[in-house]
Amino acid sequence: MSDPEDYFLAPPTTFELPQFAELRQPKLRVVGVSREFATPNGAIVAALEHISLDVRPGEFLCIVGPSGCGKSTLLSLMAGLDKPTAGEIFLDGQRVDGPGAGLSVIFQELGLFPWLTVLQNVEFGLKMKGIERATRRRRAMEFLRLVHLSTFESSYIHQLSGGMKQRVALARSLATQPDVLFMDEPFAALDAQTRDLMHEELERVWKETRQTIVFVTHNVREAVRLGDRIMLLTFRPGRVKSVFPIILERPRHLEDADLAHTAREVLAQLKEEINKAVEEEYRHAAKD
Amino acid sequence: MRRRIEKLIVFFCLFAVWQIIYKLKIWPPYLFPSPFEVFEALRAGFSDRTFLIGMGISMRRIAIGYGFSIVFGLLLGLLIAMNDFLENTIGSLVLSLQSLPSICWLPLAVLWFGLSENAILFVVIMGSLLAVTINTESGVRNVPKIYMLAGRNLGANGSRLFLHVLLPASLPYLISGLKQGWAFAWRSLISGEMIFVSLGLGHLLMMGRDLNDMSQVLAVMGLIMFLGYVVDRVFFVNVERHIRSRWGFAPTS
- The answer to whether A99 contacts B153, with C-beta atoms less than 8 Å apart, is yes
Nearest CA among B157, B249, B243, B193 for reference residue B56:
B193
Report whether the peptide linkage leading into residue A251 is cis, meaning its omega lies within 30 degrees of zero.
yes
**Nearest CA distance, A158 vs chain B (angstrom):** 5
**Residue B147 contacts A where some CB pair is shorter than 8 Å:** yes
Q: Is the pLDDT of residue A20 over 70?
A: no
Q: Is the pLDDT of residue A133 over 70?
A: yes
pLDDT > 70: percent of chain B: 98
pLDDT at position B252: 40
Nearest CA among A226, A198, A219, A228 for reference residue A266:
A219
Query: What backbone phi and psi angles, to 5 degrees, belong to A248?
Result: -70, 150
Nearest CA among B225, B181, B171, B144 for reference residue B70:
B181
Closest by Cβ to B171, choosing from A112, A115, A124: A115
**pLDDT, mean of residues B4-15:** 93
**pLDDT, mean of residues B63-86:** 92
Q: Which residue of B has its CA nearest to A169?
A: B150
Write out pLDDT tens, residues A69-86. 788 888 988 888 888 888
Q: Is the pLDDT of residue A11 over 80?
A: no
Contact at 8 Å (CB) between B200 and B188? no
> If interface means Cβ-Cβ distance under 8 Å, which residues of chain A face chain B?
79, 81, 99, 101, 104-105, 107, 109-116, 124-125, 127-129, 156-159, 172-173, 176
Contact at 8 Å (CB) between A232 and A65? yes
pLDDT at position A13: 52
Q: What is the mean pLDDT of chain B?
A: 89
**Residue B150 contacts A where some CB pair is shorter than 8 Å:** yes
**Which residues in chain B have Cβ-Cβ distances shorter than 8 Å to A127?**
164
Q: Which residue of A has its CA nearest to B153?
A: A104
pLDDT at position A23: 52
| Model confidence, pTM | 0.79
**Residue B156 contacts A where some CB pair is shorter than 8 Å:** yes
- The answer to whether A159 contacts B248, with C-beta atoms less than 8 Å apart, is yes
Determine how many CB atoms are found less than 10 A away from the CB of residue B137. Answer: 28
Query: What backbone phi and psi angles, to 5 degrees, belong to A66?
Result: -65, 160
Compute the distance between CA of residue A101 and CA of residue A91 in angstroms, rounded to an integer: 12
**Which residues in chain A have Cβ-Cβ distances shorter than 8 Å to B153?**
79, 81, 99, 104-105
Compute the distance between CA of residue B146 and CA of residue B151 in angstroms, rounded to an integer: 8
Exposed / middle / buried, residue A267 (Cβ in 10 Å: 0-12, 13-18, 19+):
middle
Compute the distance between CA of residue A157 and CA of residue B241 in angstroms, rounded to an integer: 17
Write out pLDDT tens, residues B91-130. 889 888 888 888 889 899 999 998 889 999 999 999 999 9
pLDDT at position A17: 53
Residue type, B54: G
pLDDT at position A136: 92
What confidence tier does B34 reach under pLDDT thresholds 50, 70, 90?
Answer: very high
What confidence tier does A9 reach under pLDDT thresholds 50, 70, 90?
Answer: low
Write out pLDDT tens, residues A145-154. 888 888 999 9
- The answer to whether B146 contacts A107, with C-beta atoms less than 8 Å apart, is yes
Closest by Cβ to B247, choosing from A79, A114, A125: A114
Contact at 8 Å (CB) between A137 and A119? yes
Compute the distance between CA of residue A87 and CA of residue A95 in angstroms, rounded to an integer: 11
Q: Is the pLDDT of residue A19 over 80?
A: no
Residue type, A280: E
pLDDT at position A1: 43
**pLDDT, mean of residues B214-233:** 91
pLDDT > 90: percent of chain B: 51
Q: What is the mean pLDDT of chain A?
A: 84
Determine how many CB atoms are found less than 10 A away from the CB of residue B62. Answer: 25
What confidence tier does A93 reach under pLDDT thresholds 50, 70, 90?
Answer: confident
Q: Is the pLDDT of residue B222 over 90?
A: yes
**Residue B163 contacts A where some CB pair is shorter than 8 Å:** no
Contact at 8 Å (CB) between A175 and A125? yes
pLDDT at position B253: 35
Reported ipTM: the value is 0.81
Q: Is the pLDDT of residue A49 over 90?
A: no
Query: What backbone phi and psi angles, to 5 degrees, belong to A240?
Result: -75, 115
pLDDT > 90: percent of chain A: 22
Nearest CA among B172, B154, B139 for reference residue A121:
B154
Compute the distance between CA of residue A253 and CA of residue B253 in angstroms, rounded to an integer: 47
Q: Is the pLDDT of residue B81 over 60?
A: yes
What confidence tier does A15 reach under pLDDT thresholds 50, 70, 90?
Answer: low
